């Protein structure tokens, strides 16, 4: 029954070869970052973050991320304390960035989107930030998808990515500035954010009713 609903969902959303291309991009990015992280030893800054996460010190390192702290604690709880368990989440976050053009597929030409995704896969800046704890990868991920959500007028996505930016560690200032901009825009144009969010949530629920179960 569940597989039937998933098949209907895939058919309805017309998943094509372009989705497979982005899956390949994600896997390529993940593979490169995974093996690169194994070559790089834990530095002193990363060690200070790990000490805070394991409650061996009460000092909060600069750029401390609530997201990263929570995810690494989950990894340590499930898989035990290890360098890979700590770095896995930045690796995943950096790999997810390759899916940004897919999220903006209605705004971007397919060729431009694939080239952008490929650039993210091999870009040295993205690579370095995706293999170290305490980097700005979570803030960059949240900001990139927040910009995409604003561009495609995705109200739900905008609020979720703005929240993610707040708790990303290094994106608090940007999040506060954007909140002020949103509030000023709302005041000047009579936009009701909560009302729009409720309406968009209802639309999303109606669109994705393949996964709804009826008694």
Segment 146-202, tens digit of pLDDT: 888 888 888 788 888 888 887 877 655 666 666 666 656 555 555 555 455 555 555
Cα separations (Å) of 11 from 5, 21, 126, 156?
10, 18, 34, 24
Residue 65 near residue 169 (C-beta atoms within 8 A): yes
CA angle, residues 205, 209, 210, in degrees to nearest 5 = 145
For 110, the enclosing helix (H) or strand (E) is: helix 110-122
Q: Measured in Å, how far apart are the chain's first and last C-alpha atoms?
A: 14
Q: How many CB atoms lie within 10 A of CB 46?
A: 19
Comparing CA positions, the residue from 134, 194, 135, 143 lying closest to residue 164 is 143
Q: Is 14 helix (H, G, I), strand (E, B) or coil?
A: coil
Segment 75-104, tens digit of pLDDT: 887 777 777 788 888 999 999 999 999 998
């Amino acid at each position: 029954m569940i597989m039937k609903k998933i098949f209907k969902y895939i058919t309805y959303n017309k998943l094509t070869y372009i989705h497979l291309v982005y899956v390949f991009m994600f896997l390529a990015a993940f593979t490169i970052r995974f093996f690169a992280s194994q070559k790089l030893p834990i530095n002193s800054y990363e060690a200070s973050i790990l000490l805070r996460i394991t409650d061996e010190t009460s000092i909060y390192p600069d750029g401390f991320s609530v997201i990263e702290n929570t995810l690494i604690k989950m990894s340590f709880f499930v898989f035990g304390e290890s360098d890979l368990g700590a770095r896995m989440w930045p690796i995943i976050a950096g790999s997810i960035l390759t899916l940004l053009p897919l999220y903006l597929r209605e705004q971007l030409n397919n060729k431009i989107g694939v080239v952008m995704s490929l650039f993210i896969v091999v870009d040295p800046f993205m690579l370095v930030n995706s293999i170290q704890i305490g980097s700005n990868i979570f803030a960059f991920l949240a900001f990139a998808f927040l910009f995409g959500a604003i561009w495609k007028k995705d109200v739900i996505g905008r609020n979720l990515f703005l929240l993610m930016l707040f708790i990303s560690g290094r994106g608090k200032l940007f999040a506060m500035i954007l909140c002020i901009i949103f509030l000023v825009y709302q005041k000047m144009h009579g936009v009701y954010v909560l009302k729009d969010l409720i309406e968009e949530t209802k639309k999303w629920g109606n669109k994705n009713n393949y996964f709804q179960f009826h008694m």
